[in-house]
């Protein structure tokens, strides 16, 4: 991917690295941590995010091989650049014991099947629903935000053993979820030169 980095972004990263040493992180983990921090201007994410480099490497390969990207809300999709996303929220309906966000996840899974990258930055119930499916994801970026259900859904994601990016606190949201996916999207593949 030929991506021109704006001077403002370059300066932002320079300042971030001047305030926080991220050099000890493995390459993909560092990319995710830095891009999430950059998106939120919140250095605390360095100690709040949870991920495994091996999961990120497999997800990076799947993403660059064309695996579908599913988002829980259009706002997350809008933040993911240079890649089409699937969001079925407009088609979803709430029902007894089922939120609209959870139904949207069911619809998206019916559309894309196994092997997708799932990016959830808004609704804990979307993440909870994904965990009930046999989705065999390439990666779940589970960063829903909120005081009700967010911490619990992210803990359930980590306990599931699925390849994932999550965080421990209530923090999260569309911008940071999209940033985590963009970090993998922007990171060079073995066939590209590192800038």
Q: 51 in helix, strand or coil?
A: strand
With residue 121 as reference, give the H or E element that holds it.
none
Buried b / exposed e over 85-102, threshold 16 CB at 10 Å, is bbbbbeebeeeeeebbbb
Query: Could you tell me the CA-to-CA distances from 158 to 8, 18, 38, 51, 163 in Å, in that order?
Result: 35, 31, 24, 9, 8
Residue 38 appears among annotated catalytic residues: yes
Residues 76, 178 contacting (CB under 8 angstroms) = yes
- Please give the Cα distance from 113 to 134 (Å, whole number): 9
Annotated active-site residue in 6, 24, 38, 187:
38
Sequence-distant (6+) residues with CB within 8 A of 160 are 131
Query: Could you tell me the CA-to-CA distances from 119 to 17, 28, 98, 178 in Å, in that order?
Result: 26, 17, 20, 7
- Please give the Cα distance from 47 to 90 (Å, whole number): 35
**Active-site residues: which are they?**
38
């Amino acid at each position: 991917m030929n991506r021109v980095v704006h001077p403002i972004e370059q300066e932002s990263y320079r300042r971030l690295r001047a305030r926080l040493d991220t050099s000890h992180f493995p390459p993909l983990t560092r990319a995710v941590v830095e891009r999430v921090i950059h998106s939120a201007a919140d250095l605390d994410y360095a100690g709040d995010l949870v991920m495994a480099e091996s999961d990120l490497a497999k997800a990076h390969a799947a993403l660059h091989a064309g695996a579908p990207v599913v988002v829980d809300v259009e706002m997350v999709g809008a933040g993911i650049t240079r890649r089409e996303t699937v969001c079925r929220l407009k088609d979803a309906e709430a029902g007894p014991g089922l939120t609209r966000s959870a139904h949207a996840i069911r619809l998206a899974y019916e559309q894309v099947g196994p092997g997708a990258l799932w990016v959830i930055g808004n609704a804990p119930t979307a993440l909870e629903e994904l965990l009930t499916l046999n989705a065999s994801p390439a990666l779940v970026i589970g960063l829903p935000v909120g005081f009700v259900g967010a911490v619990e859904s992210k803990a359930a994601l980590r306990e599931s053993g699925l390849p994932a990016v999550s965080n421990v606190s209530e923090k999260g949201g569309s911008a940071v979820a999209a940033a985590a996916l963009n970090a993998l999207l922007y990171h060079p593949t073995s066939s590209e030169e590192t800038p």
